């Protein structure tokens, strides 16, 4: 697979994850929506890693760490946002975190983070 093919795959997969996040939000499955939001951003950061470093990204899910590996030079607010969005991956996967995350993932909370996540998604997509 060429580098361009890999980047295309990452972008298409990220778009699919974002679409899924939006559909899950519409179905009031807020915690699952936030999980897919995380996944969409993770895929774009992994594409950026591959583009900038000419190697596949490491198999990690920490968005702030992935952004750091891409040498994006993000501001503190964006780093905080990536850290919060990273928590959606852990919180949605493991039972001991799930129940508290279900309570946290209200419509208002999920709506706010979808807006932030879509903005980050567009920002990272523009860099690929």
Pick the closest to residue 79 from 88, 68, 89, 71 (CA basis).
68
Q: Which residues contact 14 (CB under 8 A, 6 or more apart)?
A: 39, 40, 41, 43, 44, 47, 121, 125
CB 108 within 8 A of CB 34: no
Full DSSP string of 40-105: HHHHHHHHHHHHHHSSPPPS---HHHHHHHTT----HHHHHHHHHHHHHHHHHH-HHHHHHHHHH-
Residue 65 sits at the vertex; the CA angle it makes with 62 and 71, to the nearest 5 degrees, is 145
Q: Which domains does the chain have, with CATH numbers?
A: 3-127 (1.20.120.330)
Q: Which residues contact 98 (CB under 8 A, 6 or more apart)?
A: 31, 91, 92
**Whole-angstrom Cα distance, residue 67 to residue 56?**
14
Residues of the chain with pLDDT under 70: 91-98
pTM across the whole model: 0.93
**Whole-angstrom Cα distance, residue 92 to residue 16?**
18
pLDDT of residue 101: 80
pLDDT of residue 96: 67
pLDDT of residue 86: 95
pLDDT of residue 94: 62
């Amino acid at each position: 697979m060429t580098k361009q093919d890999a980047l295309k795959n990452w972008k298409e997969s990220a778009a699919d994850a974002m679409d899924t996040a939006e559909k899950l939000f519409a179905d009031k499955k807020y915690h699952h929506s936030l999980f897919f939001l995380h996944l969409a951003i993770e895929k774009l950061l992994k594409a950026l890693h591959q583009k900038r470093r000419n190697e596949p990204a490491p198999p990690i899910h920490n968005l702030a760490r992935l952004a750091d590996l891409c040498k994006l030079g993000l501001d503190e607010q964006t780093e905080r946002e990536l850290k919060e969005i990273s928590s959606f991956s852990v919180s949605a996967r493991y039972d001991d975190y799930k129940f508290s995350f279900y309570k946290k993932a209200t419509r208002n909370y999920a709506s706010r983070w979808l807006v932030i996540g879509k903005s980050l998604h567009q920002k990272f997509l523009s860099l690929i």
